[in-house]
Amino acid sequence: AKDIAAAVVYCREVGHAAAEDLSDVIVETVSSHMDRLDLRRVSFFITTFAKQQIKDTVFWKSAARRVVNSSEPLTPEVVVSVLDAFRKRGMKSETIFQALARRVMEVLQSLEPNHIPPIVATLCRVPMKEEDREEVIRELLVKWLRMLEQEKEHPTGAVTIQQILSLAVSLGLSPDIVNTAVFTKEVFDFIGNRFH
């Protein structure tokens, strides 16, 4: 995926019509083969194309269809990368994010503390039904707060200050989503204990 994205970018930077045509053929070929790839590989393309700012609509529509229509099991890492890449690309489709929110719930029990802040950051910023956003974010925070409690009892370094900051910023963007009093209290206790 990285090499293909690099080839597309390079062809477009050359500034020659034939190179531009080649880049279009590459993007169209990748797009037409999305259904043949497993979602992990699709996530590599989505992430790489987002990083390289490849904005071809044909690719993004194909990738979105593949993700939305798939029932293939996902790993937490794939969910995180796909959510983040679609957000960074500026996708505005509620359908995509609704489907991905359902996928978050499917992997909820497998999530580690480091997975939750980027998911919450994305879900607080993308178009989706408010009641669905609230439900998923509430479940994510409950899960993360349980892991924070475990971290207080048995420190492993799994919960970090960066995660706390990311969650605080994301929740600050959407203060009406959840009652943050419990989050604030638990984080305050956790940070306080670290400095005693």
Q: What type of residue sits at position 128? A: M
- pLDDT confidence of residue 195: 62
- pLDDT confidence of residue 185: 87
Conformational region of residue 65, where left means phi above 0, alpha means psi within -120 to 50, and beta covers everything else: alpha
Rounded distance between C-alpha atoms, residue 120 and residue 185, angstroms: 19
- pLDDT confidence of residue 159: 94
Report residue 196's pLDDT band, with 50, 70 and 90 as the boundaries: low
Using an 8 Å Cβ cutoff, are 146 and 109 in contact?
no
DSSP 143-181: HHHHHHHHHHHS--S-S-HHHHHHHHHHHHH-TTSS--H
- pLDDT confidence of residue 24: 96
pTM of the model: 0.87
- Note the pLDDT tens digit of each residue in 141-175: 999 999 999 999 999 999 999 999 999 999 888 77
Report residue 191's pLDDT band, with 50, 70 and 90 as the boundaries: confident
